[in-house]
Structure 1
């Protein structure tokens, strides 16, 4: 029996960078995404609800293999890790002045066979099984990040500033500059990503969570930190 396709293992350059910074050109990918704002640490808050919706959708699609209907082109796979785009709240990549003013888009990558038809089917399934979730917030988006610098952060999330500083210094030494462009709101970004035609670019602070803080000691957490870059003279 063939092993389930694991995006982390097949695309190590995207998901398993070293603790030494590196440059990467990030291609277009498909995500199920939920936008929101506010403190992600709020108990039973909006962020927690968003994660519940993302995982409900993602595992519904994955487990289609057990039902009477499978998407065209379906293959068995490991659900990719949770990711997040962050801005606002005085956040500069290192420090956050006001977590209550943060904007975020939380997302989980989907296989390319997840089309708008599959998205509608999965939302119907989730709505039937979990009527308390607002499935309308789960949007299927596709975007590219293009030229970026990234690094693996090991340890607690609160220790990320030192790793971000190392990433920023690396960017400078390569003759590049960070190219972060904050949208006005999370919903405005989602509207841009949801627009028909083309593959938009996203230029934000990006985190990929390879460890589950509920089950992993803080010192053992691994988080990919990714920043978009451009030539310093551009």
Structure 2
């Protein structure tokens, strides 16, 4: 068996400096994903998390036993979007948020491996939304990201600086979906100590997007 892989340490896109945005290119990666909508402080959001992780660990176990390739399960991530970016930076109207929760999965894991892991999880006490999880590639390309330390409700100022100052100041335009990587388990860590990478895909050509919107 090869040494246990820790992709969070190997990939540059999982590194960020506190409160200091930087531009980088994120490689295409694949994720276990599940969708939802509305305020994340709800049972539906918690249910999505408790659906993703049993499957993520079942996939890891399959990889270790059958493929002889062990790895560290990656942190929870979230893609967030809304018709109006102000719902994230100023108004904070969480009822209007759309989200996809995700766990990055190594490139050697295939759809067949995920299907086999789904069967194993379903054979036990299947999470309510197990049938809603999918394996999907995400191509973000050029992104701006920074590390936020603190509660989620205190993200707004860093997001504002990223969206309104750093990105336009470097001749860039927002595209894609706001992306968060939860380096801390916010279910167990006090809010003031939570470490979250805030990522925003960008492009140099403004195209036809309206300012302040996420398609």
Q: How does 1:1-234 map to 2 (within 5 A)?
A: 3-11=3-11, 13-19=12-18, 20-42=20-42, 45-64=43-62, 70-71=66-67, 74-88=68-82, 90-92=84-86, 93-168=88-163, 169-179=165-175, 203-231=176-204, 234=207
Paired with 1:21 and 1:97, the residues of 2 have a C-alpha distance of: 21
Kept in 2, the 8 Å contact 1:89–1:100? The answer is no
Paired with 1:111 and 1:141, the residues of 2 have a C-alpha distance of: 12
Shift of 1:175: 1.7
**Unmatched tracts of structure 2, length 5 or more:** 208-215
Change (3 A) 1:117 1:96: farther
2:98 aligns to what SS in structure 1?
A: strand
What is the CA RMSD across the aligned residues, in angstroms?
Answer: 2.0
Partner residue, 1:195: none
Change (3 A) 1:3 1:155: farther
**Unmatched tracts of structure 1, length 5 or more:** 180-202
Paired with 2:174 and 2:84, the residues of 1 have a C-alpha distance of: 17
Paired with 2:151 and 2:145, the residues of 1 have a C-alpha distance of: 17
| Cα-to-partner distance string for 1:56-100 (whole Å, 9 max, x where unaligned) | 111111122675xx14xx511110111001112744341455323
TM-score (norm 1): 0.80
Paired with 1:207 and 1:218, the residues of 2 have a C-alpha distance of: 15
Shift of 1:6: 0.9
Q: Between 87-96 and 101-110, report the one with greater CA deviation.
A: 87-96
1:77 aligns to what SS in structure 2?
A: coil
| Cα-to-partner distance string for 1:197-220 (whole Å, 9 max, x where unaligned) | xxxxxx101100001122222221
Shift of 1:176: 1.5
Shift of 1:103: 1.1
| Cα-to-partner distance string for 1:160-200 (whole Å, 9 max, x where unaligned) | 01111222211122121222xxxxxxxxxxxxxxxxxxxxx
1:51 aligns to what SS in structure 2?
A: helix
Shift of 1:134: 2.8
Change (3 A) 1:132 1:213: closer
Kept in 2, the 8 Å contact 1:89–1:96? The answer is no
Paired with 2:84 and 2:172, the residues of 1 have a C-alpha distance of: 23
After TM superposition, the runs of 4+ consecutive aligned structure 1 residues lying more than 3 A away are 89-93, 95-98
Change (3 A) 1:154 1:59: same
Aligned residues: 204
